Every structure is written in structure tokens, then in C-alpha cells.
Structure 1
Amino acid sequence: MSEDLTYIGFPAGVNKKCLEGVSYELDKDTDTLTITYAGKIYDFSLKSKSSYLIERYGVKKIQTVERVSGYLILFLLAAFFLYLCLLGRIEYSKQFFLAFFIICYGLIILFYAITEECGKIESFYRDSRCKRCGRDFAYEEYKDPLIREVSSRPKYEINITRYWECKFCGHKDTRTEELHYSQGRGEREDRKKTCSECNKEYAMIEYKLPEIKFINDIATTIRHYKCTFCGYNEITIEEEYIPD
């Protein structure tokens, strides 16, 4: 389990910092933090795979496979919990527990991967249709997408904006959608820190709940601090690898 901690400070009169291609902008009046950075263009394997599967089977069959895989995940989870409830009540049930667990776990991983892949195929199919000429798989991204994370007191949301151009008619289109990562709020720290700007002890307080997002095996925690004396603001970004 490894950790990576980044500190970004906003002295009085400064509300924007750029670090390693990432822009951090803090509105000190509303305590809203906006983080923007470049995302990834759809990879070529997804493009060719989507085109082949959609043309061969159609989008409705892809959607059906996605839904069925999701239902099978729920069924396997229910079966596993039922097995736990009956564990010890049925003869030989304990002897087969490990095998049953391995089978359920493996199938859940398999169906989850199928669900994710079908979702990506369907999303790319929808995104790459030209709004002007109506052709499928017509749009190509002509520059890196922009990801924007907005942390305000009421909510924390992550959006991606993709930039498309039709290879047939030349029409350009921009689309923004919310990224539904697993995310939530953490707990504030009670301890106070020494201010990095005015050096007063016990001056820095965590003034709002931290945000936590999970992408693959990385948990990212963003904490927000403010000096009660000089008005210095600081955020910390901690990335922690969480193995399966």
C-alpha cells in the first residue's frame, strides 16, 4: 500500500496554481475548488472493437448483454449471501465453501468486465455518431478531452468534455458528460497545523469535509485547509494504492 501526497498553497491574492499539467483554481469567496486537466482520447482498440461488434450484432444486443451481465452479478451476490446464511445448516456445506466462493468471485469479475466493456462500446457508438450527417462511427476526437473536477460545499462532481470532428462532413461537436466514479466524503481532522505562510502554530484548520474518489485501485483524497490568521489556503491531494 503506497501513498503519494501533494501540497498546493494559495497565499493571499493568489487563487490559481498549475502543477504538472493540472490547473487548480480556488474561489475563496465560495470555497469552490476547480481542478482541470487533459483526459485520454478513446483508444484505437475500442474504436475497432465497437465498430465490429455493433455492425455484427447491433446495439440492442450489446445493451441486452450488458443488462443480463448486471442481473447475473446481482444473482451471484444473492446466491453467495444465501449460502452464507445456510452455512453449517446443510450437511457438507462447509466443505464446499471455498470452491463456491472462488466460483462466485470469478464469475462476478467476469460479468463485471463484460458489463464495463459493453458500456464503453455503447458509449463510443453513441458519442461517435455525427449530429449533422447522421453516420455511425463518423466522429473522431481532434484533441485531448478536458476533465473538470468541481468541489463545492454542497457537492463534488467530475465532468469530461470531448471534442469531435466528423471525418465525412467536417462537422465539429463538443460534448460534456458527468463521470460516475465511486466517490464520497471523508471526515475532517480535529488537529490544527502550523501555517506554511505566517508560521503560526495551530492556525491551519480543515474547514470542509474532504472528497474521496476511487478510480481502479487508486483512492484519491482531497483535503481543504485555511489559516485563521493570514487567510492562507492549502489543499492536500493524497493518492493511495488499494490492492484488490
Structure 2
Amino acid sequence: MDKERFIEWMEQGTVSIPKLLMTHYAKLGLNEIELMTLLHIHMSLEGGNSFPTPEEISSHMSISTGTCMEVLRSLLQRGFLAIEQQHQASFITERYTLKPLWEKLLHSLFKESQQDKQEQQVQLEVNLYTVFEKEFGRPLSPFECETLTMWQDQDHHDAMIIKAALREAVMSGKLNFRYIDRILFEWKKNGIKTIEQARSYGRKFRQHQQTKKNTSEKTAANSTVPFFNWLEQ
């Protein structure tokens, strides 16, 4: 092999191919020929050729010029590729742009992310019923199931916040839905939206209740289990 020619080849540089495109092109509805056509356009744009001809593109592929023209037409019609006009002095030039492809890729990733969040939310809701039934030691009644749904759909409480309220009720020794509803009401009223905020607010509330307990004449001297009542606000 000619050493000088090899060095010349190597100095032509490399083409950066987005990994996301390689892993998501099938989900976008692209086949391998369409992907390679887009990649060759991408390579041409990076190399300074903004409007490669079907002959130039197909010369680096295993398809004919006619097939390449059909592929380009399809990509343009389906919104994976676009042609922009540039005004230079007294004439107009055209160039390919892959902006539509990147927009479709972004939209696909966003949609995929939203689906993942929805699936996670569904799983959280399923786990929520399981956690409640485990703590109560029995299946939930229809009314209790309806209340759980209401907390999420009408009151817009996050599943993790509801679980935190359940833990707070367990710690307070008042395991019932009315008590948990009161906790959620107090948290919402005080702008509690995260687990960290709920834990901090719960600690402050228990400290306040403990102070009241210690100063109350009705407190049993031998009591070892603190009792915190969120209903007495």
C-alpha cells in the first residue's frame, strides 16, 4: 500500500455519528438503506458539500442512482430531510438540512420518556395498594380503594407522599384512613411536596407533640410509646 496515500486517507478525518440515532432509527420508521443515505448526507455536510447529488451518494452505497433518488424523495416527503435555500449575493443555492431528523429523534425520545414515567406511575399505584394492605394486615375495602384513588386523581397527591403519610400514621399509632387524610391535608396546606419536606415537617410536628405530651398532666409517667395525634391541630 502506498504510504502517502494511506496518510492522505487518514487525514480525511472521521464522521461523528450520534449514538441515539443508531439505537433509535428503527423506532423512527427508518430502514437501513434510509439510515445510510442520511448518514452519507451527514458526512457530506460535515465535509463541506451541502447538497450532494444522488450520483455522489449512491457511489458510496450498494444502491443505484435511481434507487437513491427514490429514497431521497421518500425522506423528504416523510419529513426526515429538508432542503433549505440560501441567498448569496445575486443567486440562490440549495442545501440539505437534517434538522427534521433531529426533531423527530427528540420527539421520539420525549415520547419514550413520558411512556416510561406513565409506566412507573402505574407501578407506583399498584405498589401503593400493596403497601397499604400490608400495613393494615387485610385487603382494602371498596371505600378505602376509592379514597386512595381520590387522593391521587382529585387531590393530586404523589404516590410517594401518600406512602409517607401512611408511615407517619403508623408512627403516630393511628392507622386509619381518616387520620392519613388529615396528614395529607396538613401537608398540602403547608406546601409539602417532597419526601424530604414531609419527613422534616413530621419531625417538627412530633417534637411539638412530644413537648405538649411532656407538659400534660394526663400523660402517664410510665408511657414508653409516644402518641402523636394529627387530628388535634
For Structure 1 versus Structure 2, the TM-score category normalised by the shorter chain is: under 0.3
Could you say which structure has the higher helix fraction? Answer: 2
**TM-score scaled by length of structure 1:** 0.25
Larger Rg: 1 or 2?
A: 2
Relative to the length of structure 2, the TM-score reads 0.26
More strand by proportion, 1 or 2? 1
